[in-house]
A and B are shown apart, each in its own frame.
Chain A
Amino acid sequence: MNPIPTVPPVDLPPAPDGPGPPTRRSRQHRRRRRRVGRFTPRDIAVIGLLLGVPLLLDLALIWGPALASIGLSFTSWNGISEIKPVGLDNYVNIVSNYPPFWPAVRHNLIWLAFLGLVATPFGLFLAVLLDREMRFTRFYQTAFYLPVVLSLAVVGFIAQLIFSRDYGAANAILGRTDNPVDWLGDPSINLWSVLLLVGWRHVGYVMLLYLAGLKAVDPSLKEAAAIDGAGEVQTFFRVVFPTLRPVNVIVLVITVIEGLRAFDIVYAINRGRNGLELLSVLVTDNIVGEASRIGYGSAIAVILLLISTGFIAVYLVQVFRRDEA
């Protein structure tokens, strides 16, 4: 399109120092002051209050329920009668005697892989394109970002308007009225119909985050790279992309969260059954509904927790390792 790198307008304010980690000097400075200083009772009261209240809330609202779930996962309980400990029975049953379980795990992983390997890179791609100040940039930005304001439950309802076998827009546009495709009912394709819509929403979100990041990249870096003889692609991957690290971290976290917490869209479409099973749906099916298999559902929740913890651990290890380097 435009082979010459565009020069940003002169009145652009210099890129602010992002909310990145504090510099080493300021950290040392703070540490020294803390070691020397003494706390007045007032300080202690304030710190106690400011730390204690969030800590209590954290314990009561996050760790309490999490530990309770783990405890309940070794029991059988219908929510009314006594809680019976059953050891590992629930887990054994889930992996060996619950047909929707393995499909749910597989769907969660496909979901994650699709968001991570397709939707997120595509969002980055759009951001790079839009960052080049092409014509109608603002229009495109708005168009791509618009789906983000819709909740996934709403997207689920839209999905039914588009993908309904008999009355949907997709089959009408494709001219498949004689032998319509059952987009949402055929378990071999409905996951992909849903992922298309999830991606539609995710791309806009990722695009906006990267766009904000790209705007903050110091243009002199690109100029310097160009002077050193780097091509467009090299400049992007060797110079620009590494400076986007804070944004990359945020996007990665968002992608993993979106992949694991996926629930509302499939629940809106068909309550997460018949090809759209997800772990979160199985937890809800067993605990929230009339079924009230609380111990069993908790065990599925613990499995989801373990998977999430795996991703969080990998992520934290990465972050700390890079910080130390």
Chain B
Amino acid sequence: MADPQPDQNSPAAIAQSRQRAQSRQRALSRRRLLGGTAYTAGALALPVGLTACEKPSTGGESGGTVTFGSNYSDEVPKKAIAEVMAASGLDVRVNTVDHNTFQENITRYLQATPDDIFSWFSGFRMQYFAAQGLATDISDVWQSIGGDFSPAMKKASTGSDGKQYFVPFYYYPWAVFYRKSVFQEKGYQIPKTWDDFKALAAKMRTDGLIPIAMADKDGWPAMGTFDYINMRANGYDFHVSLMAGKESWEDSRVKQVFSLWRELLPYNQPGANGRTWQEAAQSLGQKQTGMYLLGMFVGQQFQGEAAADLDFFPFPQIAEAHGQDAVEAPIDGFMISSKVKNLDGAKELLRYLASAKAQNAYLGSDPNNVATSNSADASGYNALQKKAVELVSGAKQISQFLDRDTRPDFASTVMIPSLQSFLSSPKDVNGLCKRIESQKKTIFAS
């Protein structure tokens, strides 16, 4: 998206090129220069477009190279996944693409010349591409790896046609994070119910803390709050059918979610739409804020002593019927593209990635997640990871996340602006729900 800067038009540059044109010899050098520029520009442009597309021609027979389209572009995960792949015993070629770019180009990537396997997310986002015929059915892989996974994991890997398309690798639950030392010092109790939660927030405010850290500059973090209030008040099944577009957003149950949320807003860190989750996490680290609802990756912002001081509790109960049953725990994993060249190799690689060995190796380097395989070794887990395993294994249902459980066009073009406008002007819930519903109808109809 980089616009060419208009600086080349500056008078200095024009004068220079005029001078060059005057001398024949220099004109020649300019020509060479231009040629060189074009060559360099071409050379620069090519890898951007093609790195994800290049494929070795030897990928045809089994046992040959397996290509892997990776979105593990951050330093820690990139190194971790490279080590995992190196230990696979297969000849794996990793094509790493920037995380966001990978996501944004996924449609074109999968239709052009995708790699044999690629990193992706479970939930609707996985089912969508499976339904479009862009992923390969791996039910046979699941027959051999299925024993290591809970039924919830298998369900999260299954497409809308009942076949498996996805191998889960790790997950990270969402919960309310806090600092143990703050709770000890002030004598706070873990809130079990919505009323406890609000009472605790009110107490924190009188103690001079900002009770609830909040950030939604990137548009997605507030979705976690919406999901949890919705699942606690209306249950997991309603969440699923709402996300699938089957319920009306003007339903009184949806309006109730927003009015419950509005009860929390006075305790929220103000100016959420101008803050990144990293900044909010730092405010928790500096003990300016008391609690923060986010995924486990919040731990990336904590080091040393503060990291050991970090703890979480599950989102409190709202309706007794739904208790604290559902846990939001997005799963990352792998799929095989429909244009796979080395199918046998790809399946073998997936079997390896589903193994405890591979998952242990990965989490050893990136401990802000939890392995999906039941036989993965949990002895190396830190206290938070152990608690996360407990939280998820005790869950009756596991949701993904608003933007993984619904259509991507609905999540990004409707829900992000809607939740941001709710946070900055929370009064007009009826109008907001009406606008969401009318946009939802056109999007789900297309």
Contact = CB atoms under 8 A, between A and B. Distances in A.
Q: Are A and B associated in one complex? A: yes
Nearest to B129: A80
Given A81-B132, A212-B11, A290-B408, A186 B104 contact: no
Interface string B281-295: 001000000000000
Interface residues of A, number: 50
Contacts of A98: 439
A290 B420 contact: no
A16 B283 CA distance: 61
A285 interface: yes
Interface string B1-45: 111011100110000000000000000000000000000000000
20 contacts: A80-B107, A84-B446, A97-B438, A97-B442, A182-B271, A183-B274, A185-B217, A185-B275, A186-B424, A190-B274, A205-B6, A212-B11, A274-B217, A285-B412, A285-B413, A286-B409, A289-B408, A290-B125, A290-B412, A293-B409
Nearest to B100: A289
Contacts of A93: 442
Contacts of A288: 104
Interface in A118-164: 148-149, 151-153, 164
Given A151-B3, A182-B273, A185-B272, 14 more contacts: A76-B446, A89-B442, A93-B442, A164-B279, A270-B219, A274-B217, A274-B420, A288-B104, A289-B104, A289-B412, A290-B125, A290-B408, A292-B107, A293-B446
Interface in A197-238: 205, 208, 212
Nearest to B438: A97
Given A79-B107, A289-B412, A273 B270 contact: no
Interface in A167-197: 167, 180, 182-187, 190
Contacts of B413: 285-286, 291, 293
Contacts of B275: 164-166, 185
A270 B275 CA distance: 10
Contacts of B219: 270-271, 273
A111 interface: no
A286 B435 CA distance: 18
Interface string A59-92: 0000000000000000010111100100001000
A264 B273 contact: no
Interface residues of B, number: 44
Given A182-B274, A183-B274, A271-B218, A290 B104 contact: yes
A304 interface: no
B407 to A, nearest CB: 8
A9 interface: no
Given A261-B3, A290-B107, A186 B274 contact: yes
B428 to A, nearest CB: 12
Closest 7 CB pairs of A and B: A185-B274, A182-B271, A291-B409, A290-B408, A185-B273, A79-B107, A274-B420
A99 B435 contact: yes
A116 interface: no
Interface string B128-160: 000010100000000000000000000000000
A184 B125 CA distance: 31
Contacts of B421: 99, 274
Given A80-B111, A292-B107, A100 B417 contact: yes
A80 B132 contact: yes
A264 B1 contact: yes
B233 interface: no
Contacts of B439: 97-99
Interface in B174-221: 217-219
B90 interface: no
A271 B413 CA distance: 12
Contacts of B103: 289-290
Interface string B403-430: 0000011001100111011001000000
B260 interface: no
Nearest to A92: B442
Contacts of B218: 270-271
Nearest to B279: A166
A241 to B, nearest CB: 19
A254 interface: yes
A253 to B, nearest CB: 11
A99 B437 CA distance: 12
Nearest to A209: B11
B217 A270 contact: yes
B80 interface: no
Contacts of A166: 275, 279, 283
B445 to A, nearest CB: 9
Contact of B1 (A79, A254, A263): A263
B417 A185 contact: no
A76 B443 CA distance: 10
Nearest to B439: A97
